[in-house]
Structure 1
């Protein structure tokens, strides 16, 4: 009798533990959209001219322009983004109300960029670099949406992702966010000048430079010790270079500015691969912003190049 009671208590304890684990996991993986109290920071009117600069700094066209056609503002999506987890497809972000984001409010864009949450309340995969965009200012989000609304609508949706079935449950992205996703704002450093602080914001947030120039662990999170020290191209076709002083310590600030403007490097070479696409965007920035980016990059701590 006593043994039966012990077993019953053990079974109840095991079920209770499983329920607790399930509830905790459910809470941890729950998407966390912007709160109702914060919605007022994202009005539906913004500065189009400033939004055009945000669009360029964020390198939006490189992923969302439809492949196989020359117009970088034809934002029908569809480009294939290979990764160890499968192949992702960039979505249509044109103002088309059916296939694009024409029916989005500015707060929907804010949730996507700052929280990695879609309008239907599900997680976006972090192949969309919202871990960096999460540090964007509210004003830049508002202005970006104002600019996107001025572009031509594009019909058609991107093909679906072709990923490992294990990762098809988006709720699991919540675990990834618990480990790697930080929404901490980039606060100005009072010990640095405005130029450096502007460069830090552009590099760490809008430009999302570390998303490529770093090495990732088995779960796809950036290894902090390799930040800006280079890493393997997720598509397996190259290696993103180290942009700390270990690799470009001999470059002057003006050398970095020239590279961002023309793609020309100080050794009379030119950037290639996906960086050539990025230069198309950084060439559209103001000279002040290119100098700010260069000043921040030149201040990065030296880190050894990660092994391929």
Structure 2
């Protein structure tokens, strides 16, 4: 009996030490200094394409733009996108561009706290220093709003942020937005947009019980989006079967109208209204080309 008790004590001590180590284990890496001059217009465009404005603005609640977004109801709790204005208390007013870079590309706050993956930072990991400088320049033009977004409402055990360190180790993957040899410039541009800032896979890829994306079925659709919405498959075969062509998808990303004359609903309607309709025609076409052709080829019309 003494041996059993002694063994249990040892295991308990080891377990406690392991947990303590996990809690203090730092995540992310310190970015190098970013001294580039940012282009406000390009940064504003990238912020629109990336969904920053749509996600962090709650127009229905009459909150100022970027002062905090509408709540996201998920199986893990309700997440409130934070205030991104230049207010020093409620927003980003005291941040440095390097802290901003770490948050955007790595999902780690200035104090080292990992962000919940409701923030799609995984799709922004390939942003260049110039991208960050441009975004930062654009955000510096946002008037301060001294009104913090509500705190997340997350129950145990999901309120234990140290657990996100394990989640990141298991499910955080590079978006792989780099160009592919032998493919057209438009296809590569579409690939960079779809897999990166436009983060189409955040909604259109199935997730497991832990909320991690199933990359083996990338773009196959998701029937369990926040708020009870659904996202259909946007794999090439599914798009072709739905009557989509490059021209039709390009038009839909601008207007929200489908080949059947119907209109997008739910979260996709918001994506068009707040994001894709502001994109250049060339970028919308590039996204359509990539989605219709996929990684192994497909329609070109």
The answer to whether the superposition gives a TM-score over 0.5 is yes
Q: 5+ residue gaps in structure 2? A: 297-301
For 1:26 and 1:65, locate their aligned partners in 2 and report how far apart those are by CA, in whole Å: 32
Q: Partners in 2 of 1:184 and 1:203 — Cα distance?
A: 10
For residue 240 of structure 1, the aligned residue among 231, 256, 269 is: 231
Distance 1:10 1:230, change over 3 A: closer
Change (3 A) 1:190 1:163: same
Equivalent residue for 1:45? 37
Aligned equivalents of 2:211, 2:175: Cα separation in 1: 20
- How many residues in Structure 1 have an aligned counterpart in Structure 2? 293
Q: Is the 1:74–1:152 contact (alpha carbons within 8 Å) kept by the matching residues of 2?
A: no
Equivalence for 1:286 = 280
Query: Unaligned 5+ residue runs, structure 1?
Result: 303-308
- Superposition TM-score, scaled by structure 2 size: 0.88
Q: TM-score, normalised by structure 1?
A: 0.86
Partner of 2:292: 298
User: What secondary structure, in the 3-state scheme, does the structure 2 residue paired with 1:166 have?
Assistant: coil
**C-alpha RMSD of the superposition:** 2.6
Q: CA deviation at 1:166?
A: 1.1
Q: In structure 2, what is the Cα distance between the partners aligned to 1:276 and 1:233? A: 17
Matches of residues 1-308 of structure 1 in structure 2 within 5 Å? 14=11, 17-18=14-15, 21-22=18-19, 25-26=22-23, 30-35=25-30, 38-40=31-33, 42-43=34-35, 45-68=37-60, 74-183=65-174, 186-249=177-240, 250-280=243-273, 281-300=275-294
1:305 equivalent in structure 2: none
The alpha carbon displacement at 1:277 in A equals 1.5
CA distance in 2, matches of 1:8, 1:270: 66
Counterpart Cα distance in 2 of 1:243 and 1:21: 42
SS at match of 2:162: helix
Per-residue CA deviation, residues 22-61 of structure 1 (Å, 9 max, x unaligned), is: 476457xx342332xx422x23630111101101110112
Partner Cα separation in structure 1 for residue 166 and residue 265 of structure 2: 35
Q: Is the 8 A contact 2:59 2:65 kept in 1?
A: no
The answer (yes or no) to whether the contact 1:115–1:130 under 8 Å persists in 2 is: yes
Q: Which moved more, 1:227-236 or 1:269-278?
A: 227-236
Alpha-carbon contact 1:44-1:142 (below 8 Å) kept: yes
Shift of 1:196: 1.3
Taking the aligned partners of 2:153 and 2:20, their CA distance within structure 1 comes to: 30
Q: Provide the rounded CA distance (Å) in 1 between the counterparts of 2:175 and 2:204.
A: 21
